[in-house]
Structure 1
Amino acid sequence: MALQKRYSLSTKLVSIGSVLLCVALVSIGLTLWVTWQLEGGAAAVNEAGRMRMQIWRLNSTAQSTHSEQAVADLVLEFDHSLALLKAGDPGRPLFMPLDEEVTARFEQVQALWLAHRGIWQGRAPPEVKQSLAATSETVAAVDGLVTSIEQQLSRRTAILNLSQFVMMALAIAGAVIMLYTGYLYVINPLGQLQQALRSIQSGNFTARVEVDTDDEFGQVARGFNGMASELQTLYAGLEAQVQVKTQHIEAQRARLESLYEISAFSASAASIEELSRGFAQRVRAVVHADAVAVRWSDDANQRYLMLASDCFPQEMLEAERSLLAGACACGSLLPDARTRVIPILEHAASPMRACARAGYESLVSVPVRLQQRVLGEIDLFFRSSVQLSSEEKDLLDALASHLASGLESLRAAALEREAAVGEERALLARELHDSIAQSLAFLKIQVQLLRHASQKAQPENVQTALDELDAGLRESINDVRELLVHFRTRTNTVDIEAALQETLQKFKHQTGLLTHFQVSGQGLPLPADVQVQVLHVVQEALSNVRKHAQATQVVLEVAKGEGWRFTVRDDGRGFQSDMPDRQSTHVGLKIMQERAARIGAVVQLQSELGQGTTMVLTLPAHPVSGASVGGMHLDAQALAALERRV
């Protein structure tokens, strides 16, 4: 007990552990030394065994071939083995045991070798009897050396086994000592602490731990006793604090859940009516209001329009579908408007008397704001007095912000759809103007010439006008069919190759010309709107080939890369800038240049008379379209009607 009070727990454990560690290190060191000696002796036995083989090989070589060089090599090899055994090799390890008998045996082998080595080093082959006797005598000496080394190894093996037995006994003794020490100094004090902890957990805050040492566990026991006293003092008011915190956390969880739910609903609503009605229902359930009205400001910021409501009285709904701004205490379009609670009974003589007649006592007005601009208001009606905390006001502001964002997203989507429809109509108008309208104007002129020739009875002019009308009608029909091909061709959002192949196949079917399609390089896919513009430029180039080139084959090349390049090449008649039909070609080039400009691309036209024409469309590194055109989306009925007429 005195030891327990004098020394700390760490000192006790370190002292015992140090003693056991020293004993273990000595035992391990002895074991390693003996093992090292055994390894060196085993290597020496192996080397001595090789010497027997070497002497027999030396005798055989000297008797059979008597090659001086071979005999000399074998003599040197035996000399090397003797030197290795004498000097040893700690790196392998290899050495003979330090014993008088082993040393004597080695000196005997060395003396015999020095006495007999001259027998095999002569110029003439040694006599058989003399050589065989020298060999046998040397081998016998080597055998004696091996036997003496093995005897020493046997004794050291016994020492190794004994040391291992001692180490096992020490390990058992050390384990017993450590277990007893652990129980005495660690497990027993921990058991007392654990028992006291169980008492504290069961509600017995009077439990204490006996302190009888000055070590670490004594300090822990004193700390535990102080903690138990403090817990005993605080426990009376702890349950109330936990309950308050739990209610606060639950309220925060409910607010977050409501915020996530309404946010998800705002993102998935398909229309303004669905969004506003669903938002009113969900907000009323979240704040437990008796009625909700969602009001939106008109374009002139003069009135509040009833966008949606939930559980709102029908007579009040009819009367307040359009409410003048500022006519009621709840209506406000001030830029600095904030969420506020309005007592209705205090405004009984004001325009809020309708709310009072309906039984409402409090009104919560939440402005709907988007980018510091007040767009509307959410009115929450309660039949009791209401006080809002800062967290509840923040929640209502966040919900109003989600409503504003959702409505703005729906409005932006509607504007985007409207812009897309307008762009498609403009694109259709340009297509009709650039192709069919010009053909119709030409036909109108031919009709006037036909009428004039008929009136003057000019058969030749009549026939010429009829031929021109027939050619013009065929050209108009081809233009309509080509326009339908343009409308029906769709691009692939991953790769434009499929759309280009389809366009080229339709061109081949329409004209009967040979077509070739070549793709090279690697590049990132083009955006869908860029693909549409590229496809239309290629289609316009093919249309010019059909109308003017008089070609026999067309080649379409696509070079992928950081900046894509599209080339349309024909072997037609070509043209010069001063040719009479340059005006019609110029119209097609202008159309292609306008389309290319939308995506920042460049169109180049190269042609020589009789050498064909080449159109090259070069895209920038990162092409973008000024207007997100998704292509011409005529419905199936309209396409079918156009095709039937053609």
Structure 2
Amino acid sequence: MADNNKDLAVKRSVTTTVARSLVVILLLAVIITGFSIISLASSLNDAAAINTAGSLRMQSYRVAYDIVVDSPLLPEHVQSFEYSLLSPELQVLDNPAVPSDIRQQYGELITHWMQLRPELLGADKVFYLEQVGLFVNKIDRFVFELQQHSENKLQALAITGSIGLGLIFATVLFLIQYTQRRIVQPLNMLVSASQKIQRRDFDVELPPARSNELGVLSSSFSSMASELKSLYADLESNIEIKTRKLTKANLSLNVLYECSTLLSSSQLTRTIFENILTTSLKAEGITALKLDVQHPNESHWEIAVGHVKPMRWHTLPLQHDGETLGTLMWQGDDSLVDWTLLESIAAILARGVRYKHAQKQAMHLAVMEERATLARELHDSIAQSLSYLKIQTSILKRHLKRADAPECEPIADDISEQLRVTYDQLRELLTAFRLSLSNSDFGLALNEMVSTLQAQTTAHIEVSSSIDTVSMTVEHQMHVLQIIREACVNAIKHANASTITVSCRQEGHLAYIEISDNGEGFDLHKEKPNHYGLNIMQERSKMLLGEIDILSAPTQGCRVLLSFNLT
């Protein structure tokens, strides 16, 4: 309650000061005006008194003249003189405001007249004539004193008016200066501060603290500016945080959308997975990503993108339908990384790995089924026809011997030999077509095929492969496996090799296949009959858009070099 009363008293200070100044000015104006009016009225009375007093001299001489000329108007003139001497204009002089000298002289005039009046009305009128000079001198002194008194009052009035006007002027100047310093300047500063706040500049210059309502307003304005600054800073901070979160969420959605779009490709390749990882690098806080796939029905392969540093990798499992297909590893700033986004990317990559494997398996099964169908058709048609022709050729040769036609036997032998060669070639093709591999992955399929060949020979077959199987299509895989099989079969059947080495490696997008053995070798410039496997390998390398080189010499074994582009 006391604080409220204090604030109320403070708020009234400026108003009280201004009001008091105005009251003082009004009082001074009223006093000066009243004094002027009184002085004016007094000056008018003084003038009347001076005129009346001045007329006493003329009337004194007129009475003296009446005595000399024995005028009948003497009583009338005596009565007129007495009336003027006791007139109201001179009676007002009998008050404390009139100097005592003037009142005393006026009393003496009345006393002297009262002494002269009986003589005028008696017989001894000569006494008046003797005293008239003295009496007029007293009247002159009285008039002179009245004039002096009137002049003093006018001078006092002028001085008082000047002082009053000076006080009014000084009060007005003080009021203007006080208003300018205590009201106008603080108000201008408050207006300037409000304009700065409108421009969102809260560092304002406010009037100094004073014990008045403007001081209270300034203090309140300062508190308001501080609160607005704090609120605006908090608001900007919240907006910045929300904007950052929305930007991060938008970036995450864009990353997920782009990854999902890449995953919808008709055929998943290594490039697709690289693009998914590269797109994922756009996520905040991630500097490097690595995809490590360890599918149970697929060779191990991995892809790394970004700036890999010698630091610890964070890991997330690639899980799909409860099955772990590999690991997504990343490097970056833990405080900035969105774990939910990374888990979504890991889920997308897991689906991609599963879909790629299913896609490749389906294509593998389709190719194998088509090759099996073709093998059955060849077996049921051309193979049976060739078998029938061989039988008929054998019967023809027996009939020619019985018919004793030796000139026809070479022709029959040649036909029989050509049928045998054709039949062997067909059986070889049927064997190649019937190559059944349960794995769609190149590395696993290669090991499966080599295991089958190893069971058919005593030669030791060594296999090493570092080819990225995810980049190899089913068509590439079938052609490469057939070339490797053909080279291994040739080394087993014709070279009598004890060691066969199969090496598969990759440099960038190029794949290099090498099959070497330590067998007998052969002369490349000498055509060997019934050896058509080399031609088949040449044809398959053309289908791969690759190059194949066969290096061999007698007693130096054989090397088959194949290179092709995986993309």
Same-fold status (TM-score > 0.5) = no
With normalisation by structure 2, the TM-score equals 0.32
